[in-house]
Amino acid sequence: MSWVRVYIHMVFSTKNREPFLNSKELRKQVFQHIKQNAEEKEIWLDCVNGYSDHAHCLISLNKNQSISKVAQLIKGESSFWINQNNLTENKFMWQDDYWTVGVSESHLQQNREYIFQQEEHHRKTTFKEEVEEFMRKYGWQLIQE
C-alpha cells in the first residue's frame, strides 16, 4: 500500500485582482464551499482562507494528484458555483495562474496560522506586497506575457 504525504501551499487570485470577495460573510461562504467540494473530490484540503482578491490553500496531495489538476478542480468548480449562485455582481473568475510551494511537516502549524490570519495580515499588507514577498522568499520571477 502506497503512502504519500506531500503538503503544498497554493495561492491564487481573482481575475485582475478584482475584490470580488469583498465581505467576510461571502469569503466564509466561498471558502466553506471550496473545502466541501475538495472533500467530495478526495482532495485533502487542510485549510483555506484568503482576502477580497485571493485565496490560500494548504493541501496534501495523494499519489494520484498533480498540482495542476487540484488547482483546476478547486478553482474551476468554485468559479462555476459562485456564478451559478449569483454571489457577486459581476461574473466571477479566478486568475489563470497560481503560486505553489512545498511545505515541510515541521512548518505545517506555522503555515496554517498564516492562512487563518489573512484578515489581520491584509490590514497591514496588500496582496501585491504579499506576492512580492513570496517572490523574494522563494526566488520567483514574474514573467509578463
Which domains occur in the chain, in start order?
6-120 (3.30.70.1290)
Mean pLDDT, range 79-105, rounded to an integer = 96
Q: What percent of the chain has pLDDT over 70?
A: 97
> What pLDDT is recorded for position 136?
81
- Provide the pLDDT confidence category of residue 137 given band limits of 50, 70 and 90: confident
> What pLDDT is recorded for position 119?
86
- Rounded to two decimals, the pTM is 0.86
- Sheet with strand 6-13: strands edge to edge: 44-51, 54-61, 6-13, 99-103
Residue 15: all three cell numbers together: 481575475
- Provide the pLDDT confidence category of residue 125 given band limits of 50, 70 and 90: confident
